[in-house]
Amino acid sequence: MRVAIIKYNAGNIRSVDHALKRLGVQALITDDHESILSADRVIFPGVGEAASTMAYLKERELDRVLKELTCPVLGICLGQQLMCSWSEEGDTPCIGIFDQPVRRFPADTLKVPHMGWNSLERVNGMLIPHELEGSYVYFVHSYYVPLCPETAAECTYILPFSAALQRDNYYATQFHPEKSGDPGELILKHFLKL
């Protein structure tokens, strides 16, 4: 199986690569359109800021390539947010695979970013095995996708938000499966088998 990890100006790409290696998968980290379009699985990871990463993706037309994919695609963290239609971070129009906004957590007694382990609730859809209902996974984020018809798992921090999304062949998680121990490993394995 050919797994492509989208190479762009965001962090976290190496972590995902490492997690796949632990599963015995040698992924290709690439920004080459052909390699991405011909892959069996595409992972769109990322840690960073929305406006500058979107600008980079547009310049290389990776936004268009991502929309054209027909294989299972997994967006992680910033990857998930960039797959939405717009982000409050820098008032940035995004790729628009999920027709949802990305909002900043409101000021609260709880601090932002939301960092650490939190539990998955109302798990549905095909990405996350249902036995992981209630399992703890690792989050680091200041922006979130509200609950919506595409929500495939929920989490609550300050307010309930989408911990995962699914639409057609597109899957996304706000948490980091590659940093989420056993549950995370199970999700990645599951993604590779979809």
Give the number of other CB atoms < 10 A from CB of residue 37: 14
Least separation in angstroms between residue 140's CB and another protein is 5
Asked if residue 127 lies in contact with residue 154, where contact means CB atoms within 8 angstroms, the answer is no
Asked if 182 is part of the footprint of another protein (rule: CB under 8 A), the reply reads yes
Least separation in angstroms between residue 154's CB and another protein is 17
Per-residue contact string for residues 27-46; x = within reach of another protein by CB under 8 A: --------------------
Give the number of other CB atoms < 10 A from CB of residue 190: 16
Task: Give catalytic status of residue 94 as yes or no.
Answer: no
Residue 169 has, within 13 A of its CA and on its CB side, a CA count of: 14
Task: Give catalytic status of residue 150 as yes or no.
Answer: no
Site for another protein in 41-100 (CB under 8 A): 47, 77
Phi first, then psi, for residue 63 (nearest 5°) are -60, -40
User: Could you give the CA distance from residue 77 to residue 45 in angstroms, rounded to a whole number?
Assistant: 7
- Binding residues vs another protein (CB under 8 A): 11-12, 14-15, 18, 47, 77, 111, 113, 115-119, 136, 138, 140, 176, 179, 181-182
